[in-house]
Chain A
Amino acid sequence: MKKLVIMLTTPVVVSFGILFWIYQINMAQGFGGDNTLVVYNWGDYIDEELIDEFEEETGLKVIYQTFDSNEAMLTKIQQGGTAYDIAVPSDYAISKMIEDDLLIPIDYSKLENFDNIDPRFLDKSFDPGNKYSVPYFWGTVGIVYNPELVDGEITSWNDLWDMPLENDILLADGTREVMGFGLNSLGYSLNTTDRDELLEAEKKLETLWPNIKAIVGDEIKMLMANREAAAAVVWSGDASEIMYENEELTYVIPEEGTNLWFDNLVIPSTAQNVEGAHQFIDFMLDAEVAARNTDYVGYSTPNDAALEFLDEEVVSDERFYPSSDVTDELEVYENLGKRMNAYYNELYLRFKMQSK
C-alpha cells in the first residue's frame, strides 16, 4: 500500500515541479500579460530569430504554433477554440476562408512596408484586391529531375510521356497538382470546369502509368535526393530543398504552363490582437527581414525590395525567380466549388486506381 501511495504521489509532485519550471520559463520570456500574439504557421516556415527580434522591437510576446496542412488549419480556425492572430494559408484555402467569413480585412494604413511587394503577386483571383491577405511566399509546380539519370533535357510536361523514363517518375500526391499537369499537358486550363477536358486529361494521365514509379508524400524529397527516381513532379519549394541536398538535380517550369501558388498572411476573425497582427505583418514585409526569412526558408519571396539583400545567385535563378513573362502565363488555382472539387477528386482517384 505504501508503495502504491508513493507511486501515485511522486508523479504529481514531479508534475507540479515541472509546471513551476514551465511557469518560470514563460515568466523569464515575459509571457502572461495581454501583450501576446498568436501566430499559426506551417512547421519550420519562419526564421525563429526574427520572432525574437519582433518581440524586442514591439514588446509583444509571440506564441508560435504550427500546422501541417491547410485543412488542419482551417478546421482549427473554424472550430474557434483558439484565438489565432495570424495564419498562413495557401491560395485556395484563403478563398474558402473568405467565403466562410473567417477573415478580418487588412487595414493598409497600418502597413508601411506593403509597397515592397512586387505588384505581379497581388490582386489574384483567390483574394481580389488583396482585401484579406498579404503574400508571404510563392512558387510554382514543376519537374525536378536528375540530368545524369535522364537522357536529354526535360522542358515540358509532355516530356514525361515522351522521354524514356520507364518506372522512373515520382508524383507528389495532390489532386489539383496531378490533374493540373494532365490538363496543362493537353493545353487546357488547370482551372477548367469542362468535364470532357477533365476526362480527357484523366485518360491521358492513365497512359503515364508505365513511367510512374510511385505517388508519394513528403518523402519525395528524400527519395529524389537519394537518386531513387529520375524525375518528380513537385512544388518549387520542395525542389529547392531537394537541390540543396543533392546538387546534381535541377528544376524546370514546364513550357505548357503550370500552377502559381501562394502562401499568404491573413488575420482570422477570431483574432484578439488585431493591432499586433498588423504590426507582425508589417514587420515581415520589411525588406531586410523578408530577405533573412527567405534565406532561412528557401522558398521564393514576393518581396521586391528584399531581393537586393539576397544572394545574386539565388535571385537571378530563373527556375525559382522566373521573369514576369513566365509568371504571367501561369495560373493560380481558383476555388472551383464543392461539386467540381468532388469531380476532380473522383477522377484523380480513378487515375490512382489504374496503377499496376
Chain B
Amino acid sequence: MKRKKIKLANLYLMAVFFILYAPILYLVVYSFNSGGTMSGFEGFTLEWYASLFTDTRLLVIVLNTIVIALLSATISTILGVIGALAIYTAKQKYTKTSLLSLNNVLIVSPDVIIGASFLILFTMLGIQLGFYSVLLAHIAFSVPIVVILVLPKLQEMSPTLIDASRDLGASTWDVLTKVILPYITPGIFAGFFTALTYSLDDFAVTFFVTGNGFATLAVEVYSRARQGISLEINALSTLLFLFTLLLVIGYYVLARRGAKEVRR
C-alpha cells in the first residue's frame, strides 16, 4: 500500500515537471529548426546560433544584461545584508516593524509603478538614462528581496551565540565577521542568486529607464515581438537557459560545501 502511494506521488511530480519544462524544451528544439518559424520542424540547422554570434548588437545587449545582473546583485546583496542587520538589531519593536513594513511595501509594489517612479525621478534629477539608471533601478528592486531572504537566517540564529562570543572577548567586528556572517551565508547566497535572476529577466522596470543606446535583453526581445520573434531569439534563450542551469548547479555545489563545513 505504501509503495503504491509513493509511485503515484512520483507520477504526479513527473507530470508537474513535464508541464513546467515542456515549453522550454519546445523552444530549445525549435532553435535548431531550419524552417524559420515555430510552426513546423523542417530540419536540423545551426544557422540561428551562427547568426547569433555574428550579431554584435545582440551580443552587446546580452553582455549589458549580464553586467547589470552581476553588479546589481552584488551591490544589492551588500546593501541588503546591512539592511537586514539593521532591522535585526533595531532595539525598539516599533522601529523594527516599520522598517520591515517599508521593505515589504517595495516587494509587493507592481514593477510598472517602480519603473514609472524611477523614470520620473531620473528625469527630475536630470540623470541621463542608460547604464547607470538601469543599474540603480535594478539595485533598488533587488535590495528588499535580499533583506527578506537574509532576515530569517538572522532570526533563527541563537542570540546566545553572540553573547558567548562576546564573553570570550570578541570585538564587534569579530562578532560580525566570525559569527554572524558565516552563520547567515546560505541566506546571503540565496539573496544574491535571487537578485541575479530578478535582474536578468526584469522587463517592466527596465523598460522605463533604458535609453541612449543602452538596452537589456528583455526590452529588446519584447520590442521585436511586433514582427514575430525570429529563431535567433530561441537560440539565445537556449544558451541563457543553459547558463542559468550552470548558475543553479554552482549554487547547489557551494551550498553543499557550506553545509559540510558547518557540520565539521
Contact = CB atoms under 8 A, between A and B. Distances in A.
A26 B224 CA distance: 22
Interface residues of A, number: 44
Interface in B53-74: 56-57, 59-60, 63-64, 66-67, 70-71, 73-74
A187 interface: no
B211 A81 contact: yes
Contact of A65 (B39, B215, B227): B215
A36 B212 CA distance: 11
Interface of B: 37-39, 56-57, 59-60, 63-64, 66-67, 70-71, 73-74, 77-78, 119, 122-123, 127-130, 133, 177-178, 181-182, 185, 188-189, 192, 207, 211-213, 215, 220, 222-228, 230, 254, 258
Contacts of B71: 11-12, 15
Contacts of B182: 1, 4
A11 B223 contact: no
21 contacts: A4-B181, A7-B254, A8-B78, A12-B70, A14-B70, A22-B60, A25-B56, A38-B212, A43-B224, A43-B226, A44-B230, A45-B227, A66-B223, A68-B222, A76-B211, A81-B122, A81-B133, A218-B228, A225-B37, A241-B227, A241-B228
> Which among A11, A26, A297 has the greatest number of chain B C-beta atoms within 10 A?
A11
A18 B67 contact: yes
Query: Looking at chain B's contact residues, is the secondary structure mostly helix, strand, loop, or mixed?
Result: helix
Nearest to B177: A1
B225 A4 contact: no
A3 B185 contact: yes
A195 B177 CA distance: 73
A29 B60 CA distance: 12
Q: Pick the most buried of A19, A63, A68, A81: most chain B CB atoms within 10 A of its CB.
A: A81
Given A21-B63, A81-B211, A221 B228 contact: yes
A82 B212 contact: yes
B212 A44 contact: no
B200 to A, nearest CB: 13
Interface of A: 1, 3-4, 7-8, 11-12, 14-15, 18-19, 21-22, 25-26, 29, 36, 38, 42-45, 48, 63-68, 72, 76, 79-83, 218, 221-222, 225-226, 241, 245, 297
Nearest to A221: B228
Contacts of A68: 222-223, 225-226
Contacts of B224: 43-44, 66
A277 B63 CA distance: 28
Which of A18, A43, A225 has the most C-beta atoms of chain B within 10 angstroms of its own C-beta?
Answer: A43
A81 B207 CA distance: 13
A25 B58 CA distance: 12
A312 to B, nearest CB: 24
B178 to A, nearest CB: 7
A80 B126 CA distance: 10
A15 B67 contact: yes
A211 B246 CA distance: 49
Given A4-B182, A25-B59, 9 more contacts: A1-B182, A8-B77, A8-B78, A14-B70, A43-B224, A64-B57, A83-B212, A222-B39, A241-B227
Given A4-B185, A226-B39, A38 B67 contact: no
Nearest to A13: B70
B213 A19 contact: no
Given A8-B74, A66-B223, A22 B67 contact: yes
